[in-house]
Amino acid sequence: MKHHVTVGIDGSLESRAAAIWGAREASLREVPLRLVHAVEWPMSPAIPRLGRESADRWADEALTEASEAVRRRYPGLEITIRCLSGRPAAALAAEATDAGLLVLGSRGLGSLVGFFVGSVGMSTLAATETPVALVRPLRETGDTEPAGYGEIVVGVDIHEAADKLLSFAFEEAARRKCALRAVHGWKLPPAYEYIPFFDPDNERDIGRSVTQMLDDMLKPWRDEFPSVRADSQAFMGPAGSRLVQASVGADLVIVGRHLRRSPLGAHLGPVAHAVLHHATAPVAVIAHD
């Protein structure tokens, strides 16, 4: 069965942007689009007090508005809508089980929108192993479709397995027929802090070695996807800030997160955390061991 793309809808500008972006992704993948809203009952105190009938009617209107906006842009796309009862994070995670991608709206530069409450986005990340894309509102371009696809940027840690991350990144770049840039940030070993006169040649040697390790990691994927122009960029310094800079003008930024079950939510390293909260481009989070 073909995997569909699932989008969480809550009636906000963020979820509208997520619906349009998710529809574009579904069109690229040639799979159906599923728009989902979850109504928690009894409702949270953070949500305006509505009767059950009014709440259901509001949810139907939000889903209908989103689906109509998508159909105007992608008239041939297969679209289904679903209104569910239950905690939004759990409902979205369940819906994402057989999806190839889950798309959520994100405010960026702060907390995730989270379907009325800020914790839902993070709770959903923790509850699913499906790739999750977080999309900000299309403030600069309105609802117009971009003419083409920009660069895809992926943050890579050469010291960890990255098969899931690189598979997703290369497949996305191949679909878009766009360039891919793999970014890795490194730092000097702690022992070098105690060397009073550090030879700059050592730093250059380490940089060349790290770059070679990154290229070696990319080689199997470059061979499998010869149509994708994949550049590598290794530098000394924090990767998070460089990925945030690279997100300007990028079509998508891809980061990984470890599969660690925790009652406090998804485990996000400093790189993923920085990118999620500050990147200007959509961000895809890929869960891996």
Higher pLDDT, 88 or 146: 88
Contacts of 43 (CB under 8 A, 6+ apart): 49, 50, 55
pLDDT of residue 79: 96
pLDDT exceeds cutoff 80 at 243 = yes
The answer on pLDDT for 200 being more than 90 is: no
Question: Does the pLDDT at position 255 exceed 90?
Answer: yes
Distance CA 155, CA 238 (A): 11
Q: Two tokens at 70?
A: 């998508």
Between CA 68 and CA 63 the distance in angstroms is 9
H helical segments located in 84-195: 88-95, 119-127, 163-176
Statement: residue 230 has pLDDT above 70: yes
Q: Which residue has the higher pLDDT, 270 or 56?
A: 270
pLDDT for residue 141 is more than 90: no
* Per-residue pLDDT band at 120 (split at 50, 70, 90): low
Q: Residues with Cβ < 8 Å from 59, sequence gap 6 or more?
A: 37, 39, 83
What is the per-residue burial (b if ≥16 Cβ within 10 Å, else e) of 57-82? Answer: ebbeebbeebbeebeeebeebebebe
Q: What rounded mean pLDDT belongs to the chain?
A: 81
Q: Report whether pLDDT(104) > 60.
A: yes
